[in-house]
Chains A and B, each alone.
Chain A
Amino acid sequence: MRRRIVLIILLSIFIGVTIWITEMGSLKYMQPKTYSDIGRQTWNHLKMVGIAELLAIGIGVPLGIFVTRPGLKKFATPIVGAANVGQTIPSLAVIAIMAPILGYGFNSAIIALFVYSLLPVLRNSYAGISDIDPAIIESAKGMGMSRTQIAWRIELPLARPVIMAGIRTSTVICVGTATLAVLVGGEGLGKIILTGLYTQIPLLIVQGAAPTAALAVILDTLLGGFEAVMTPRGLKKG
């Protein structure tokens, strides 16, 4: 309840600030961005985050699960280790490294975002499966469940909330990182921020930053709700 109130207050501040700036006649020597500009860039932003995130889920979840399979466990340490190390590199650095390799443009922006989003998804998928109490797996095996039955009936349902939490974290981080993607030719709300920086108009920066923050809060809440739906009843606390 408390959390919800905080969320609503935050969201109203972000949206309120955006409206306030948009309604201003002029910012120094420039016009503020119009609602349609903001709408278009929000859509672009969402598109980048969405594509990058779908790629991250499509590759991160299966990869994270595969390295928990017997026989593939030897790949777990290098892959998950690499993911953990990757996470410590600042997002700006990831994007900066990607630029010379992939060139400029929407696609390289998406690939840079995907690489950065992949890590939490991969790590949580791996942790979700490998943190299951071994006694649960042993008793499933001892009662005559096949590997596939154990995967579908036991491991995936139990790992689902953890995997979902990874996707949620990754998405929220991605919304923020996506503002930097304009540096390598991406679109989105980062463009407004960048313009504000170039022209040295703080309010223009805020006009791009506030909707970005609002977007992050909204996505976090939506995915949080989805996570709760995906959590099996017996695992819920209280």
Chain B
Amino acid sequence: MIKLENVKKVYQDGTEAVKGVTFEIKEGELCVLLGPSGCGKTTTMKMINRLIPITEGHIYIDGTDNREMDENELRREMGYAIQEIGLFPHMTVGENIATVPTLKKWSDEEKKERARNLLNLMGMDPDEFIDKYPSELSGGQRQRVGVARSLGADPPIMLMDEPFGAIDPITRDRLQDEFLKIQNEIQKTIVFVTHDINEAIKMGDKVALLKEGKLIQYSQPAELLAAPKNRFVRDFVGSDRTLKSLRLMKVDEAMKESPRVVKEDQDLESVGRIMEEEGVNYLIVVENGNKLKGWINREDVEETGQGKVTDAMVTDTGAAEIGTNLADALTVMLERDVANIPVVDGNNSLRGLLTFNDLQGLIGETYTESGGKHPEVPR
């Protein structure tokens, strides 16, 4: 657990970089320090491992004031990863990863074992990479090695300063996903600095939004989007915060389970009757075993008149996979120009139905939750 108590940083020239920040990071939580450049987020992070000396206030690591510890010992208990990575170019990948274990005087076997495990964790083949030099790696691979190195001696705490900042968006997205998976396994207490609101929302259990050295809002990402505390927060999260909050919710949370379906070998007459009964203009078509086949519309049923469902149905239909976020599902709807999409699992079995109305309902909720405020007044 990390506890910051009225932490201040004043530089010699009188600049106040951090103006009394107080918050607490629980064990196993990923806390994002977010804000525009110059807001003091990196300074705050570097005061935790004392790369920058604290001017006033206290930082407690599991109850101990970090100024009472030896600074090198303190840093060896905290993984440290930065945007520029800073791999040691004259050392192999294995030696780089074993930096802190070397400082802690582990045996060679232990170090090698650890390096291999971490490479595996990062999805890199140890046999291929352990003896390579940083200059032989791609940008994404270097970034992975950088993260592996910060995990070297299995520290309980990790400090990460825009660790995915310098790579292309596609690789970054993948590394973020991978890292979230890893964090799920290792459950470290992480301080994660970024200026990217999307990254903050994606990665953070908690987000601390800073501005000019002050902590403006400290809350869960969903709350940050739904209930921005003031104008600055609202502007910072962006006018598309509704879309962003959709990204935080899963399809599973919004879909209707077991929607009405018809089988593909049913005859059209009975389908027409069902539509009448249900008062709907469309139905999902499934095969035996609940596999999604397509849609059938009332118009097509009436036009075709007689026959089987297969004669009138539309097979080319979009679907959202279970576990994906609502923003992606909305994209599928907009692309296909439909107001409803079926939700399937990995085997293409039908799991539910997501309608545009459901989404609208959720969007409405985020607005009413925002402290009774009405949608933004035009400027």
Contacts and interface: CB of A to CB of B under 8 A. Distances in A.
Interface of A: 133, 135-146, 149, 154, 157-158, 232-235
Contacts of A146: 72
B89 A139 contact: no
Given A136-B88, A158-B90, A142 B72 contact: no
A145 B73 CA distance: 9
Nearest to B90: A232
B89 A142 contact: no
Q: Please provide the 6 A-B residue pairs with the shortest distance between their CB atoms, ordered closest to farther.
A: A139-B86, A135-B84, A234-B133, A142-B80, A232-B90, A144-B75
A143 B148 CA distance: 13
A233 B91 CA distance: 8
Interface in B152-169: 152, 159
A154 B96 CA distance: 11
A143 B152 CA distance: 10
A235 B133 CA distance: 8
A238 to B, nearest CB: 10
B368 interface: no
A139 B134 contact: no
A145 B75 CA distance: 9
Of B89, B152, B159, chain A has the most CB atoms within 10 Å of the CB of: B89
Given A133-B84, A136-B88, A233 B133 contact: yes
A234 B90 contact: yes
B223 to A, nearest CB: 31
B297 to A, nearest CB: 59
Interface of B: 49, 51, 71-76, 80-82, 84-92, 99-100, 103, 133-135, 146, 149-150, 152, 159
A233 B340 CA distance: 60
Contact of B89 (A138, A140, A235): A235
Contacts of A135: 82, 84-86
Contacts of A145: 72, 99, 103
B117 to A, nearest CB: 18
A139 B89 CA distance: 12
Contacts of A140: 86, 88, 99
B155 to A, nearest CB: 9
A141 B51 contact: yes
Contact of B135 (A139, A143, A158, A234): A234
Contact of B86 (A133, A232, A233): A133
13 contacts: A135-B84, A138-B84, A138-B86, A139-B85, A142-B80, A143-B76, A143-B150, A144-B73, A144-B76, A144-B103, A158-B90, A233-B90, A234-B135
Contacts of A137: 86
Contact of A139 (B71, B82, B103): B82
Nearest to A158: B90
B82 A158 contact: no
A233 B86 CA distance: 17
Contacts of B82: 135, 138-139, 142
A235 B135 CA distance: 8
Contacts of A144: 71-76, 100, 103
Given A135-B82, A234-B88, 9 more contacts: A133-B84, A135-B85, A139-B85, A139-B87, A140-B99, A143-B103, A143-B150, A154-B88, A158-B90
Contacts of B149: 143
Nearest to B135: A234
Nearest to B93: A234
Contacts of A149: 103
A234 B86 contact: no
A133 to B, nearest CB: 7
Contacts of B159: 142
Given A143-B75, A234-B135, A158 B51 contact: no
Contacts of A143: 75-76, 80, 99-100, 103, 149-150, 152
B164 to A, nearest CB: 15
B148 to A, nearest CB: 13
Given A143-B103, A234-B91, A138 B51 contact: yes
Contacts of B150: 143
A113 B372 CA distance: 83
Contacts of A235: 89-90, 135
Nearest to B74: A144
Given A234-B133, A234-B135, A235-B89, A142 B51 contact: yes
Contacts of A233: 90, 133
Contact of A158 (B80, B81, B89, B146): B89
B103 to A, nearest CB: 6
B358 to A, nearest CB: 47
A142 B135 contact: no
Of B71, B92, B99, B149, chain A has the most CB atoms within 10 Å of the CB of: B99
